[in-house]
Amino acid sequence: MDTKPDIYKVLMTLSALFLLLPKTEAQGSYDSLKLQLPKHYFKTVIVLDAYRKPEQSIPDTTDFLSKKLKSYGVNQFIFSLNTPIATFERPQYDSTQPKKNTHLLLTANYMRLQPIFDGIQTHSLVKTGIGIRLVVNSGKKGIWFIDTAPFVTRDATYANSPAEWRMANTIVYSHNKSEKFNWRIGITKSFMWGNRNYLPFIGLRFGRLNKTHLSIQIPRHISLNVPVNDKFTMSFYTKPQGGMWNFSNRDSVYYLGNASTFHFTRYEINTGFRADVRVNDFFNFYVALGFSTKNNITFYSEKENSKNKNVPYKKFFYEQDMPATGFFNLGLVFKFGKTKSYIGDKNIYDAIDLNNTVGGGDDNISNGNTQIPIAPKKATDLNLKSVQDLIDYNDF
């Protein structure tokens, strides 16, 4: 039997289908205009964050190092960048399927921490990192968030101070039961609590992200957020802050061995009030004030400890709990780039919130979710420029 004619028929039919299919799409005329639409849902966000905690005398007066260090305070500056690299949309979705998209983002951060010890020279401990995060929006209820944030720490006070690589990671599944209720579960590898810890990530949110809501995101933060109006949001929060840095031994703080560098770790719990001011679509700032409690600092030498097999590597040669004190935090947030519209899209709102909850570089700072728009109470102060795409001359 000759099958060639059948093959030709099949090929002809398939070719005709491929040729005709695009024409069945009503947007042929739209495509012919070759208009450029925004590619991403996330803006490029730059945060400049300054944090200060006043000096306090070290309460212990008996230990040799306590006497040498005398007091402890913190000056901290963070530069954080978060930018979308690629956005993948579900190809050819139709209205019967939810819109699915995947976002690849780049994070970069620079932190300069100055622990102020009155008895020794002020050290500038630097942490620099660049990371990647992936946000997978199923379009239905769930979002997957995967973040990997490698970073380097070194004591920048001295040019030849060695650096050390570390890595913070987070994987979270976030489930939007509704706009008003969300739960999250995952795991995070973080240095927020002074040392490397693998911690479960458990999150609960009650309330819509653009309205008053209570957000419990353990171990990142617990916050009550109240948008007073479209320009101003108040928050009451508690969150840990800390990390691990290389610390040069030029001051002979480590007097038990000959290590040139050892580790300095710190953590604290900050509880306070924060005000976020949305100046416009491109800029906002925040001011936070509160109490810093559970203050802890440690010094230990991994190198020296490793020589002695009976000593666990994390054994501290110095550990001190400090009394509670006040803190001050100021942040400037710059947002760049046009995005695809995501108004009312609860999954994109949640993706933005996840991206901000897990601040870049394990620094645990948040830019305040100001990419999620809040509706003004009235349409009275809208300028004409912002509505020109919605109304026509003939509408007047």
Partner 1 sequence: MICSIFFFAPKVFSQGERVEALRAEFIKKKVEMNASESEKFWPVYNEYNDKVRALRRNVRQSFKKAPDNLTEKEAEDLYQLDMKSKQAEADVHKQYGDKIKGIIGIKKLALLRKAEEEFKEILVKSAKEN
Q: Taking CB under 8 A as the rule, does residue 336 contact partner 1? A: no
Residues 365-394 that bind partner 1 (CB under 8 A): 373-376, 379-391
Alpha-carbon distances, residue 129 vs 71, 76, 163, 266 (angstroms): 30, 16, 12, 19
CB of 290 to partner 1, least distance (A): 24
* Sole window of 8-16, 94-102, 105-113, 264-272 interacting with partner 1 (rule: CB under 8 A): 94-102
Q: Taking CB under 8 A as the rule, does residue 35 contact partner 1? A: yes
Distance CA 179, CA 202 (A): 18
CA angle 326, 368, 267 (to 5 degrees): 40
Nearest residue (CB) to partner 1, 98 versus 200: 98
Nearest residue (CB) to partner 1, 153 versus 329: 329
Answer for which of 3, 19, 94, 252 binds partner 1 (CB under 8 A) is: 94
381, amino acid identity = D
Distance CA 329, CA 299 (A): 25
372, amino acid identity = I
Answer for which of 22, 59, 98, 323 binds partner 1 (CB under 8 A) is: 98
CB of 277 to partner 1, least distance (A): 9
CA angle 364, 367, 371 (to 5 degrees): 140
Nearest residue (CB) to partner 1, 283 versus 313: 283
Cβ partners under 8 Å of residue 357, min gap 6: 203, 215, 217, 220, 221, 366
Nearest residue (CB) to partner 1, 259 versus 352: 352
CB of 60 to partner 1, least distance (A): 42
Cβ partners under 8 Å of residue 283, min gap 6: 332, 333, 334, 335
Nearest residue (CB) to partner 1, 9 versus 211: 211
Answer for which of 62, 96, 160, 310 binds partner 1 (CB under 8 A) is: 96
Alpha-carbon distances, residue 183 vs 58, 173, 204, 282 (angstroms): 41, 8, 5, 30
Answer for which of 19, 20, 26, 159 binds partner 1 (CB under 8 A) is: 26
Residues 227-286 that bind partner 1 (CB under 8 A): 230, 279-283
- The answer to whether 189 touches 156, Cβ cutoff 8 Å, is no
Nearest residue (CB) to partner 1, 187 versus 343: 343
Q: Taking CB under 8 A as the rule, does residue 36 contact partner 1? A: yes
Nearest residue (CB) to partner 1, 141 versus 189: 141
Residues 132-191 that bind partner 1 (CB under 8 A): 139-140, 178-179
Report which of 374, 368, 300 is spatially closest to residue 334, judged by C-alpha positions: 368
Tokens matching residue 381: 């102060």
Alpha-carbon distances, residue 31 vs 87, 231, 341 (angstroms): 20, 37, 19
Nearest residue (CB) to partner 1, 248 versus 370: 370
* Sole window of 31-39, 57-65, 185-193, 264-272 interacting with partner 1 (rule: CB under 8 A): 31-39
Nearest residue (CB) to partner 1, 84 versus 243: 84
Q: Taking CB under 8 A as the rule, does residue 340 contact partner 1? A: yes
DSSP 330: E
CB of 391 to partner 1, least distance (A): 5
Residue 238, classified by CB atoms within 10 Å of its CB into exposed (0-12), middle (13-18) or buried (19+), is middle
Site for partner 1, rule CB under 8 A: 25-30, 32-33, 35-38, 94-99, 139-140, 178-179, 210, 230, 279-283, 332, 334, 340-347, 373-376, 379-391, 395-396
